[in-house]
């Protein structure tokens, strides 16, 4: 009894002690994680420009602006969405790039692959000196501390940073060129994105033959560009994709799960999907339309690529059939640059009826809404939007994954074929072949994507991943601030700058970096040993053979 009371007392005392300890913790001091960094000037540069290249960079810049830094945007044309970022000053490189001037980068091209650089090279060479001067002058005029360049087809921006010895952050959504992995390739090289289950010959073709072919195709262009660089006292370098030895940090706007997994060095960071904090709402008409339909297909292709009259009409016909079959009950098609005469005048669905395309295009069909532009994220984010038919550009893919919307992908060019394959392997999409568009194929695939339980599960999984990873744009801004901080301590870029992030192999050269000399030594040792043993055996055999004739002689003598 007494013992019990004692235990009770002890417990109460202990409780009191614990309580006072918690009270004492309120005196703790808050840890400070802020950098002591004065406001800096950052230049965002993109030659190709346009929403898909510039928007995610501006979304990262928006965070830096909130932290007190100044941002100027140097790009082709007049980037209109910059109105969403009113504090960003704009300097134009010249008129907006018209893709049709670039040798017709349209779906009429059989393959949009590495050879397509031929269509671009004239334009890139022609614009190099103008762009280089404009990037350089803008950097001087605005006293730029850091270049944030889109890393694809933007050599002038990368070179200007290099010549001015300014820290350079590269940006792209395309991992293949900057961080090659032995088990990955890309349809741009006429290979599959994953070589995991490829045969020996396929891996040989994709790791040796195709890259060599690409280098040969690019060689004359690289040569010309390097000659041009010489005029501006820029050392030769790679073309089109940026040289990691000149880039302090490379930000990849993608995320593993969509991108096939691989390891990355610390100076290449995947920080995507970068998405804006806010998005424009549905227009009242679209809102009414989508609310009134329970299974909506949203259709939008990029502004850059267009398809043929025949293919447009096939798409339209498959939508009408899918509605007739009650697979979907509504379609929203953002036609963007596709003009309204890019269709046959009449459609002939399989039910024998005849439909005037003009009536659909004039929004007289009760279940099809044709709009010029749609607030894409808002459409995808609506629970009634069940499927997205897209070209598979990185921005659209990110939005679709974020909202858990399965995709039917019609890749038209550049990174889109690879994106389609990655989405298929993530189990959230099926893809169409632009050269063999077929109404029944489209309908069958829509049916699978709408019904399959695995697709729904995978879409949920990818949605979770995209949501978590979308927070990493703050990490991107933090990393850029670190580079600004580190370079301000160093008074710019000097020897040893950012060695804490650059893996040593980049400084050790190809042979030492890959320990090829060590493996070579092992090979020589093994060959030497094997050779020695073989030589010994050879000597032994000769010795035996030499003795044998005498024993034969003896034998013959005995006989
Ligand atoms: C789609 O367009 C391409 C390019 O014009 C064409 O070659 C192809 O035949 C079209 N596909 C079909 C099924 O008509
Ligand atoms: C890529 O994979 C697909 C199947 O996913 C296959 O049909 C196609 O032939 C492959 N392409 C190449 C170039 O291996
Ligand atoms: C390759 O094959 C393995 C085993 O069948 C499978 O688990 C994996 O998903 C395949 N990879 C690809 C990219 O198809």
Residue 204 in any domain: the answer is no
Cβ of 436 less than 6 Å from ligand 1: yes
- What is the model's pTM? 0.88
pLDDT value at residue 104: 45
Residue with the nearest Cα to atom 4 of ligand 2?
192
Does the structure show a pLDDT above 90 at 49?
Answer: no
Does the structure show a pLDDT above 80 at 11?
Answer: no
Q: What whole-number distance in Å separates Cα of residue 146 and Cα of residue 155? A: 16
Alpha helices in 403-504 (DSSP H): 416-425, 439-451, 453-469, 473-489
pLDDT value at residue 181: 94
Cβ of 430 less than 6 Å from ligand 2: no
337 pLDDT tier (thresholds 50, 70, 90): low
pLDDT value at residue 10: 58
Q: Are residues 458 and 325 in the same domain?
A: yes
Q: Which residue has the higher pLDDT, 523 or 345?
A: 523
pLDDT value at residue 107: 42
Average pLDDT on 332-351 reads 82
Share of the chain above pLDDT 70, in %: 89
80 pLDDT tier (thresholds 50, 70, 90): low
Q: Are residues 397 and 325 in the same domain?
A: yes
Q: Are residues 404 and 521 in the same domain?
A: no
Question: Containing domain of residue 413, as a range?
Answer: 284-469
Residue 423 in any domain: the answer is yes
Residue 319 in any domain: the answer is yes
Q: Are residues 541 and 422 in the same domain?
A: no
Question: Poorest-confidence range of 305-309, 349-353, 449-453?
Answer: 305-309
Q: What residues have CB less than 8 Å from 333, skipping those under 6 apart?
A: 298, 299, 300, 319, 368, 369, 370, 371
| CATH number of the domain to which 422 belongs | 3.40.50.2000
Cβ of 235 less than 6 Å from ligand 3: no
pLDDT in tens, 210-269: 999 999 998 999 999 999 999 999 988 888 777 888 899 999 999 999 999 999 999 999
Residue with the nearest Cα to atom 1 of ligand 3?
197
pLDDT value at residue 512: 96
Strand partners of residue 368: 331
Does the structure show a pLDDT above 60 at 556?
Answer: no
Strand partners of residue 73: 44, 90
Say which DSSP state 90 is in: E
pLDDT value at residue 14: 56
The structural domain count of the chain equals: 2
Q: Are residues 330 and 447 in the same domain?
A: yes
Q: Are residues 372 and 521 in the same domain?
A: no
Question: What spacing in Å lies between the alpha carbon of 465 and ligand 3's midpoint?
Answer: 21
Share of the chain above pLDDT 90, in %: 65
pLDDT value at residue 122: 82
Say which DSSP state 86 is in: T
pLDDT value at residue 144: 96
335 pLDDT tier (thresholds 50, 70, 90): confident
Q: Which ligand is nearest to the CA of 426?
A: 3
pLDDT in tens, 444-501: 999 999 999 999 999 999 999 999 999 999 999 999 999 999 988 877 677 778 888 9
Residue 492 in any domain: the answer is no
Q: Are residues 302 and 440 in the same domain?
A: yes
Is residue 69 left, alpha or beta, with left meaning phi > 0 and alpha meaning psi from -120 to 50?
Answer: beta
Strand partners of residue 171: 150, 251
Residue 23 in any domain: the answer is no
Say which DSSP state 263 is in: -
Q: Are residues 332 and 460 in the same domain?
A: yes
Residue 401 in any domain: the answer is yes
Element containing residue 408 per DSSP (H, E): strand 407-409
Residue 309 in any domain: the answer is yes
Residue with the nearest Cα to atom 7 of ligand 1?
435
Ligand 1 binding pocket mutation candidate from 112, 437, 438, 439 (most atoms within 8 A of CB): 437
Q: Which residue has the higher pLDDT, 140 or 243?
A: 140
Q: Are residues 342 and 461 in the same domain?
A: yes
91 pLDDT tier (thresholds 50, 70, 90): very high
DSSP assignment string, 281-332? PPPHHHHHHHHT-SSEEEEE--SS----HHHHHHHHHHHHHHHHTTS-SEEE
57 pLDDT tier (thresholds 50, 70, 90): very high
Residue 169 in any domain: the answer is no
Say which DSSP state 184 is in: B
Does the structure show a pLDDT above 80 at 543?
Answer: yes
Q: Are residues 314 and 385 in the same domain?
A: yes
396 pLDDT tier (thresholds 50, 70, 90): very high
From 469, 495, 528, the end of a domain falls on 469
Does the structure show a pLDDT above 90 at 156?
Answer: yes
Ligand 3 binding pocket mutation candidate from 191, 197, 257, 259 (most atoms within 8 A of CB): 197
Q: Are residues 436 and 546 in the same domain?
A: no
pLDDT averaged over every residue in the chain: 88
Average pLDDT on 370-391 reads 96
Q: Are residues 288 and 380 in the same domain?
A: yes
pLDDT value at residue 103: 45
Cβ of 110 less than 6 Å from ligand 1: no
User: Within 13 Å and on the Cβ side, how many CA atoms surround 90?
Assistant: 19
Does the structure show a pLDDT above 80 at 105?
Answer: no
């Amino acid at each position: 009894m007494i013992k019990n009371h004692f235990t009770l007392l002890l417990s109460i005392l202990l409780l009191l002690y614990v309580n006072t300890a918690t009270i004492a913790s309120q005196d703790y001091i808050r840890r400070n994680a802020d950098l002591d960094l004065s406001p800096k000037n950052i230049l965002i540069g993109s030659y190709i420009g346009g929403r898909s290249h510039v928007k995610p960079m501006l979304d990262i810049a928006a965070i830096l602006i909130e932290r007190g830094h100044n941002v100027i945007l140097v790009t082709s044309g007049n980037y209109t969405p910059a109105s969403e970022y009113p504090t960003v000053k704009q300097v134009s490189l010249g008129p907006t790039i018209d893709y049709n001037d670039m040798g017709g980068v349209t779906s009429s091209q059989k393959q949009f692959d590495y050879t397509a650089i031929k269509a671009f090279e004239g334009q890139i060479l022609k614009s190099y000196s103008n762009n280089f001067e404009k990037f350089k002058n803008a950097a001087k005029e605005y006293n730029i501390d850091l270049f944030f360049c889109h890393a694809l087809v933007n050599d002038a921006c990368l070179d200007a940073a290099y010549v001015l010895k300014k820290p350079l952050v590269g940006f792209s959504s395309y991992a293949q060129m900057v961080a090659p992995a032995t088990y990955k390739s890309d349809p741009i090289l006429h290979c599959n994105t994953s070589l995991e289950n490829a045969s020996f010959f396929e891996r040989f073709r994709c790791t040796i033959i195709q890259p060599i072919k690409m280098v040969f195709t690019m060689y004359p262009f690289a040569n010309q560009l390097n000659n041009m660089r010489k005029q501006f006292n820029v050392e030769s370098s790679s073309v089109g994709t940026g040289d990691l030895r000149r880039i302090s940090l490379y930000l990849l706007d993608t995320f593993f799960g969509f991108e096939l997994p691989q390891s990355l060095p610390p100076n290449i960071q995947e920080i995507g999907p970068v998405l804006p904090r806010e998005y424009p709402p549905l227009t009242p008409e679209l809102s009414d339309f989508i609310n009134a339909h329970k299974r909506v297909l949203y259709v939008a292709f990029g502004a850059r690529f267009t398809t043929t009259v025949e293919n447009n009409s096939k798409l339209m016909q498959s939508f009408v059939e899918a509605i007739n079959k009650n697979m979907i009950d509504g379609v929203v098609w953002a036609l963007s640059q596709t003009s309204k005469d890019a269709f046959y005048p009449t459609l002939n669905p399989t039910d024998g009826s005849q439909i005037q395309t003009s009536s659909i295009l004039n929004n007289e069909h009760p279940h099809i809404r044709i709009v010029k532009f749609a607030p894409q994220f808002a459409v995808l984010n609506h629970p009634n939007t069940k499927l997205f038919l897209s070209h598979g550009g990185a921005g659209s893919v990110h939005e679709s994954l974020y909202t858990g919307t399965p995709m039917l992908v019609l890749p038209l060019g550049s990174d889109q074929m690879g994106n389609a394959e990655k989405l298929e392997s993530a189990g959230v999409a099926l893809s169409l072949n632009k050269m063999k568009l077929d109404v029944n194929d489209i309908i069958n695939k829509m049916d699978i994507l709408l019904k399959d339980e695995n697709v729904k599960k995978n879409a949920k999984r990818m949605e979770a991943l995209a949501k978590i990873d979308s927070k990493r744009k703050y990490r991107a801004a933090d990393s850029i601030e670190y580079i600004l901080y580190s370079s301000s301590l160093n008074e710019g870029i000097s020897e040893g700058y950012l060695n804490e992030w650059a893996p040593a192999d980049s400084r050790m050269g190809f042979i030492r970096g890959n320990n090829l000399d060590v493996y070579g030594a092992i090979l020589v040792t093994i060959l030497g040993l094997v050779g020695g043993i073989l030589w010994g055996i050879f000597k032994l055999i000769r010795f035996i053979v030499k003795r044998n004739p005498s024993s034969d002689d003896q034998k013959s003598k005995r006989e």
